[in-house]
């Protein structure tokens, strides 16, 4: 437990998120309770032109106090000065250095991209990230490399008049141990899928009418696991998409096939017949024991079989997702997984660092899963990068999540010409993405104003179906602003 007792709450979130990076898994209290067993006590004192911070390490019986001069009206600079001070203090207490320094947001490459687009040199961007955020050389270099590649890949995208489409299929064969995404067991919905599709089609019809005259750049069907649907329902869905939207300008059409145990030849043939250009077949790991622990029903052999089947049917852009830091895995397990992936030679891989969110079973039932050892190191991350480059792949997008093991990142690698444009757009927030289906979030970008607004659909499938009119009303209010 960390006691966070601040005399001014203006920077509470910034302080809390950085402390979470140094002390992952700790909960926070904001009112001091007598007898509470605190690991740390953090107190602040705000003065006219300065900010004082005291950290008491109750376990190590150590106390550090420091202060920094600030100008409160300049919130950006004040926040960064406070975080740099806190970083140095927490570093002294823990002996830790965080690879991303004070950065706790999920889009660090956005900083590099913005600076490059403003005309700054790569050296200037690197200095800015190191001085402002105390990020390491390795992470600043990675950010700049990816941002430079993203700028090139997005050069033909029309931010003002274009948009992308996300279609959410919130069903899975089972719920994985670490997962917190919106998903429901497909077995409970197979016989009622027409109800979900009917509501989804209403949202599609409405969206197509509102976006008429705009250029549709990318389409992404995600989940959940879209291939949880039957081949018949997949075909109905994709045919309806083509009937509803103008695909003549679509540069990329992705379907997150995902779980190998949800893939069949009939489903792959449906995707191929209807112009899907990119799919994912996601092993997460090639260690069978780990697959059993995390609740995956597929086998390592099944991953290989489905991959080879997709190749034989003509899919020439296949992504594979991997997770580093899974229970009971070590460096040798990661190396073995990468060797297996290298032998398959996918067109892209996405390497995730395990992030355990509140909703995941791994976090909810600690008494059952708490004994599992989860390790994620820089050496493991570096090894995946080494293998990706060995396979001729380059990093093209990056994002982070809260509560990530090792305070690392997720990186997408691809062979030249096989990068997923949608992944870049969703991370860099450069273009409006209209999201359809339960649990999805539409992001409307106003480029001339350098801002975006979000509108969310309800997560529960039953609620989505019964409240579809409300979902359309929510979109109406948002898209009316876009028209203006």
Supply the pLDDT for residue 147.
Answer: 97
The C-alpha atoms of residue 208 and residue 241 are separated, in whole angstroms, by 10
Residue 343 tokens, joined: 């032998």
Average pLDDT, the chain: 90
What number of other Cβ atoms are within 10 A of residue 355's Cβ?
Answer: 18
> 460 to each of 359, 438, 457, 467, how far by Cα in Å?
14, 6, 9, 10
The C-alpha atoms of residue 278 and residue 422 are separated, in whole angstroms, by 11
Kindly report, residue by residue over 132-186, the tens digit of the pLDDT: 999 999 999 999 999 999 999 999 999 989 999 999 999 876 655 545 455 567 7
pLDDT band at 364 (very low <50, low <70, confident <90, very high): very low
> Do the Cβ atoms of 81 and 71 come closer than 8 Å?
no
> Do the Cβ atoms of 459 and 450 come closer than 8 Å?
no
DSSP string, 137-155: HHHHHHHHHHHHHHHHHTT
The C-alpha atoms of residue 19 and residue 93 are separated, in whole angstroms, by 12
Supply the pLDDT for residue 404.
Answer: 60
> Do the Cβ atoms of 446 and 480 come closer than 8 Å?
no
b/e per residue, 61-72, with b = 16+ CB within 10 A?
A: eeeeeeebebee
b/e per residue, 201-215, with b = 16+ CB within 10 A?
A: bbbbebbbebbeebb
Q: What length is written for the chain?
A: 484
CA 298 to chain centre: 24
What dihedral do alpha carbons 91, 377, 392, 255 form, nearest 10°?
Answer: -100
Place of tokens 């229970």: 327
Place of tokens 């920094």: 68
Kindly report, residue by residue over 101-141, the tens digit of the pLDDT: 999 888 999 999 999 999 999 999 999 999 999 999 999 99
Give the range with max mean pLDDT: 269-278, 359-368, 376-385: 269-278
């Amino acid at each position: 437990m960390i006691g966070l007792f601040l005399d001014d709450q203006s920077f509470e979130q910034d302080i809390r998120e950085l402390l979470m990076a140094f002390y992952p898994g700790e909960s926070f209290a904001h009112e001091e309770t007598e007898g509470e067993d605190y690991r740390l006590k953090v107190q602040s004192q705000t003065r006219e032109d300065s900010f004082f911070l005291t950290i008491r390490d109750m376990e190590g019986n150590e106390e550090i106090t420091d202060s920094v001069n600030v100008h409160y009206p300049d919130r950006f600079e004040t926040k960064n000065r406070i975080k740099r001070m806190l970083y140095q203090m927490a570093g002294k207490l823990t002996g830790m250095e965080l690879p991303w320094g004070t950065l706790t947001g999920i889009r660090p490459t956005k900083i590099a991209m913005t600076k490059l687009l403003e005309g700054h040199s790569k050296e200037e961007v690197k200095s800015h990230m190191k001085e402002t955020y105390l990020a390491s050389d390795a992470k600043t270099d990675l950010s700049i490399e990816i941002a430079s590649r993203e700028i090139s890949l997005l050069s033909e995208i029309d931010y003002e008049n274009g948009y992308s489409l996300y279609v959410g299929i919130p069903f899975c064969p089972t719920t994985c141990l670490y997962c917190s995404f919106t998903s429901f067991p497909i077995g409970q919905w197979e016989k009622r899928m027409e109800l979900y599709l009917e509501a989804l089609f209403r949202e599609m019809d409405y969206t197509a009418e509102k976006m008429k005259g705009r250029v549709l750049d990318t389409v992404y069907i995600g989940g959940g696991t879209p291939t949880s649907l039957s081949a018949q329902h997949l075909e109905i869905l994709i045919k309806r998409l083509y009937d509803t939207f103008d695909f003549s300008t679509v540069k990329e059409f992705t379907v997150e096939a995902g779980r190998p145990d949800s893939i069949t030849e009939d489903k792959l043939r449906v995707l191929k017949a209807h112009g899907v250009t990119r799919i994912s077949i996601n092993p997460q790991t090639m260690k069978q024991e780990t697959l059993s622990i995390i609740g995956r029903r597929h086998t390592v052999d099944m991953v290989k079989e489905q991959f080879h089947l997709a190749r034989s049917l003509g899919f020439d852009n296949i992504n594979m997702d991997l997770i580093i830091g899974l229970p009971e895995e070590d460096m040798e397990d990661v190396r073995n997984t990468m060797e297996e992936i290298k032998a398959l030679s996918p067109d892209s891989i996405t390497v995730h660092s395990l992030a355990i969110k509140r909703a995941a079973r791994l976090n909810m039932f600690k008494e059952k899963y708490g004994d599992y050892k989860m390790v994620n190191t820089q050496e493991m991350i570096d090894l995946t990068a080494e293998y990706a480059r060995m396979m001729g792949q380059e990093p093209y997008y990056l994002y982070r999540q809260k509560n990530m093991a090792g305070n690392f990142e997720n990186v997408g690698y691809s062979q030249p010409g096989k990068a997923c444009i949608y992944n870049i757009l969703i991370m860099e927030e450069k273009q409006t993405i209209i999201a359809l289906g339960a649990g999805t979030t539409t992001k409307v970008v106003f480029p001339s104003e350098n801002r975006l607004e979000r509108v969310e659909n309800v997560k529960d499938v039953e609620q989505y179906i019964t409240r579809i009119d409300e979902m359309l009303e929510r979109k109406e209010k948002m898209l009316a602003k876009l028209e203006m």
